[in-house]
Amino acid sequence: MSNKVYNIKEIADVIGATSIQLVDPAAVINTLAYDSRKITNSRQALFFALVGRRDGHQFLQEAYRSGVRNFVVHAEAFEIADCPHSNWLVVPNTLHALQLLAAYHRRQFDYPVIAITGSNGKTIVKEWLYQLLSPEYEIVRSPKSYNSQLGVPLSLWQMDAQHNLAIIEAGISKVGEMEAIEVMVKPTLGVLTNIGHAHDDGFASIQEKTREKLRLFSVADMVVYNPTYVDATIAVPGRQHFTWTIGEGATLSVDAHWQAKAQRYVLEANVEGQAQRLTVPFTDRASIENLICCWAVMLVMGYEMPVIMSRLQTLLPISMRLELKKGINNCSIIDDSYSNDLSSLLIALDFLKQQRQHPHRTVILSDLPIAAQDTRALYVKIATMLEGKGIDRLVGVGEHLRQQAALFQMDAQFFDTTEELLAHLPQLGIQNSTVLIKGSRVFGFERVSRALTLQTHETTLEINLNALEHNLNTYKTLLKPGTKLMVMVKAFSYGSGSFEIANLLQFNKVDYLTVAYVDEGIALRKSGITLPIVVMSPGPETFEQLIAYQLEPEIYSFAELEAFMSSLSPAGPAPYPIHIKVDTGMHRLGFEPDDLSELLTKLKSSDKIIVKSVFSHLAASGSPEHDAFTLEQIGLFDSFTKNLASGLGYHFVRHIANTSAISRFPQAQFDMVRLGIGLYGVSADDYRALPLQSVARLRTGITQIKRIKEGDTVGYNRKGRLNGEGTIATVKIGYADGYSRRFGNGVGKMRIKGHLVPTVGDICMDMCMLDVTGIDVAVGEEVLVMGDELSPEYLAKAIGTIPYEILTGISQRVRRIYYYE
Ligand SMILES: *Cc1c(COP(=O)(O)O)cnc(C)c1O
């Protein structure tokens, strides 16, 4: 939402609409929309039908039903018949049109715009600059890491006359992308964080990548960069330059020493003849670079050294994550306690709205940082947003919220301070609710989060929901138009979660979910999942429950078919959907191809059931040496299902492809595919390198560190030995957590502070020991067990198993955290 409004005709001009149909030429726009699931302020919204992984034109009617009456569409998709009384602008390219509008909007303001790009650290530097400069400026900044071809225009759209500084983040992944961003942003001050190996694939060389990133600063008055990342052959654009570095040779050259004892860095520099010294509690070099980068920007902006020093001292590590965790009193906690502003609040509310596992939705909200004269208008917006997102309870903290209490129609309580809230928290009786915790930094809401989160085992499996969505979309792009998608969420979604994953899949409109057993299906239904759910192995003793929860059985034998038919009441309202499994060569479950005529007779004998789908499972779809067999299975399935369909006289959905078959056998997609392990970031074959992202990270911590003398042994049965003397670290993960005993005695490796270190001795039930000789580590240090280079595939290979077993083996006592970045 922007406070500035534009007339629809003015917009038509700006975006170069080639055809215009206006029923309401006086319409004004202040909101950009592109996702029909997240419409706010629909009457003043302009919906851009973007074509990406999904074609926004398919969602025009949904947007229309949400109240949108203004649309921008592609020329060839111009279809207005079903959306009467609305305005239509037709353009050759909707994303480009959105960018033109953002560029136009940005030109309405002549205050400074800082643009940040680089391989890493962009978001941190943006957030830190926001924190450092806020005392003097009213800052508008990119929400989260909205830095793409779409994220940048949405960020710029937030600019309005109340602000006097913008901080915009820009990211690119291939050559040619920066130009469109530069045209929109036209920064006055450019900041390059660093250049690393992220997105190397999109560029011929690191120089090409650097040059492309620097294009953002073509017209900047000043560019701040670290010459270490920009080699001498590259001409840095911008009228003036300010350089910084760790070491020598820049305008701001900083000496950085790591003090191991105190676990902190000491930074020293000479600025305009004066020695400066700063100690900071960061343990990694990347944070130090980001901090020096902010220091340079403050110098460029004319800040005095004493102010710079005292503010840098206050910087804290930042988490841009929005985390979903288990809370106390049967709550789910969405922790977004780092920042609070309208745009990030809206993102968090959308995520809250996706959660259906509890009957109530509560928001614990602090005051937003804002100049006093705008308070009321701001809280009117917030009250409207909360109502629009179906929030039933508000707990407000801060003076402004308390003053505006009358605006909030839902059940609401207000406190002046976080301390006051914490003191009353138990009496509030927050239960059976999804709770969003959203507070400005100064309110210290991490304390509220700690009080409401269930504290368990320190070993944590972190599930990256962005990555999961990315993988889902990656597989969607492989599907032929109209092919349905079933997602396998059996075994706790391959170890990653239950309703947390199903919610996301439901939100992303997959067609079916599949579980192994009835209780898994019931758990999903109880969490508000309304998608059709197939149960693969429903025992006759569970049919009653299955029917009560509207789960759909897989039927694989005559005995099961008969048992199921007799458990259906004779006068059911409609035939019950079932799914027939055929065995085409896996020889696990399913009817034999020879059973066809008997099966037909049985199925036709009853009108209590209807065949919703018929499917089979491939035994070796990921193994090229068995491709002939796989093709035979596919052929057999094709003819069996054709005969069954003609015998039954009605259509059903046919499916046989699992993850590997989706990528390796496009001809086997039939009407639907069944996505499993690929969703979780593991491609089960290496035939086709899909750009999957890893979803799960398993991490733990060090409990104790011990010096070992030459000849000492470590652990049970004295199996562990070092070469000579050394140091071992005991960490909090064992075979009861799913870290197999087969990882013992050096077979398994974990990562500590960037070093891969081997296990020593046998893995114990709740712990194991690592050889950390020569590495500077402390108790409490984080240990990565799985994630990055320690992929599920890598771990599986080490102990001679498959990634499926690694993922599903992670025990339920390991705490799960779900996050969006
Ligand atoms: C588990 C399962 C799948 C998914 O297999 P992936 O290899 O993980 O894609 C598909 N179909 C059936 C019947 C399954 O049991």
pLDDT reported for residue 436:
96
Which ligand 1 atom lies nearest to the CA of residue 490?
Answer: 1
The number of beta carbons lying within 10 Å of the beta carbon of residue 84 is: 9
The residue whose CA has the least distance to atom 4 of ligand 1 is 676
Active-site pick, 490, 581, 608, 749? 490
Q: What average pLDDT does range 502-508 have in this prediction?
A: 94
For 790-809, the pLDDT digits (tens) are 999 999 999 999 999 999 99
Helix then strand count (H, E) for the chain reads 25, 40
Per DSSP, the three-state class of 705 is strand
The arithmetic mean of pLDDT across residues 304-331, rounded, is 88
CA dihedral 667, 672, 676, 679 (to 10 degrees): 90
- Nearest by Cα to 752 from 772, 737, 738, 769: 772
- Whether residue 125 contacts residue 290, with contact meaning beta carbons closer than 8 Å, is answered with yes
Domains present along the chain, CATH in parentheses = 6-101 (3.40.1390.10), 109-312 (3.40.1190.10), 326-454 (3.90.190.20), 462-680 (3.20.20.10), 696-820 (2.40.37.10)
Mutation test residue for ligand 1: of 514, 555, 579, 656, the one with most atoms within 8 Å of CB: 514
CA dist., res. 677 & res. 684, Å (int): 7
CB of residue 677 inside a 6 A radius of ligand 1: yes
Whether 794 sits among the annotated catalytic residues: the reply is no
CB 674 less than 6 A from any atom of ligand 1:
yes
Q: At what angle do helices 465-476 and 499-507 cross, to 10 degrees?
A: 50
Distance CA 462, CA 323 (A): 9
- State residue 347's pLDDT score: 85
Structure tokens at 460: 């944590």
CA of 327 to the centre of ligand 1 (A): 32
How many A from CA of 674 to the centre of ligand 1? 6
CA of 221 to the centre of ligand 1 (A): 56
Q: How far apart are CA 330 and CA 432, in angstroms?
A: 5
148 has pLDDT over 70: yes
DSSP-assigned beta bridge partners for residue 790: 787
Residue 206 has pLDDT above 80, yes or no: yes
Between 688 and 194, the higher pLDDT residue: 194
pTM for the predicted model, two decimal places = 0.80
Q: What is the pLDDT of residue 58?
A: 87
CB of 684 closer than 6 angstroms to any ligand 1 atom: yes
Nearest to 288 by CA among 297, 278, 300, 298: 278
Instruction: State how far the Cα of 288 lies from the Cα of 275, in Å rounded to an integer.
Output: 18
- Whole-angstrom distance, CA of residue 333 vs CA of residue 435: 5
pLDDT exceeds cutoff 70 at 209: yes
Catalytic residue among 509, 526, 716, 797: 716
Backbone phi and psi for residue 648, each to the nearest 5 degrees, phi listed first: -75, -30
Q: Report helix, strand or coil for 408.
A: coil
Cβ proximity of 708 and 714 under 8 Å: yes
For residue range 248-277, list pLDDT tens digits in order.
999 999 999 888 777 788 999 999 889 999
Q: 590: helix, coil or strand?
A: coil
Residue 735 to residue 758: CA distance in whole angstroms: 16
**193 C-beta closer than 6 A to ligand 1:** no
SS3 634: helix
Residue 687: band (very low, low, confident or very high) from pLDDT cuts 50, 70, 90: very low
Other CB atoms within 10 Å distance of the CB of residue 542: 19
Separation between Cα atoms, residue 636 and residue 626, nearest integer Å:
15
Coil/strand/helix, residue 690: coil
Which atom of ligand 1 sits closest to the CA of residue 678? Answer: 9
Per-residue model confidence (pLDDT) at position 80:
66
Tokens 């809401």 belong to 445
| pLDDT tens track for 215-261 | 999 999 999 999 999 988 999 999 999 999 999 999 999 999 888 77
* 642 given a catalytic annotation: no
Closest residue by Cα to residue 708 from 771, 614, 655 = 771
Q: Are 393 and 410 in contact (CB under 8 A)?
A: yes
Cα-to-centroid distance, 713 and ligand 1 (Å): 44
Q: Which amino acid is at 784?
A: L
Q: What spacing in Å lies between the alpha carbon of 98 and ligand 1's midpoint?
A: 40
| Cα distance between residue 225 and residue 801, in whole Å | 47
- % of the chain beyond a pLDDT of 90: 77
